[in-house]
């Protein structure tokens, strides 16, 4: 298969992705998830990820 996608297929793919994103957005709205609530969840997950990551060891050149 070559790497070229026909225009019609590219538009159909883009439309499918946008429709899925709109469905997720509408589903989240219907579930009562407001933007501040989602932001709070994201911050909590980021904080959890930072605490689980260990810092890389400092580079020390050989003497």
If one counts the domains in the chain, the total is: 1
20 near 12, Cβ under 8 Å? no
The set of residues, in sequence order, having a beta carbon less than 8 Å from that of 28 and lying 6+ positions away, is 38
Length of the chain: 63
Residue 40 lies in a domain: yes
Query: Count of CB atoms within 10 A of residue 39's CB?
Result: 10
Residue 61 lies in a domain: no
Residue 44 lies in a domain: yes
Residue 1 lies in a domain: no
Residue 41 lies in a domain: yes
The set of residues, in sequence order, having a beta carbon less than 8 Å from that of 5 and lying 6+ positions away, is 13
pLDDT tens, position by position, 2-59? 688 899 999 999 999 999 998 988 888 777 766 787 788 888 888 887 777 666 666 7
34 lies in which domain range?
18-51
pTM given for the model: 0.46
């Amino acid at each position: 298969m070559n790497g070229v996608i026909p225009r019609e297929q590219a538009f159909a793919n883009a439309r499918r992705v946008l429709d899925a994103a709109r469905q997720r957005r509408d589903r989240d709205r219907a579930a009562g998830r407001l933007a501040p609530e989602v932001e709070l969840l994201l911050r909590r997950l980021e904080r959890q990820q930072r605490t689980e990551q260990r810092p890389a060891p400092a580079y020390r050149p050989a003497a």
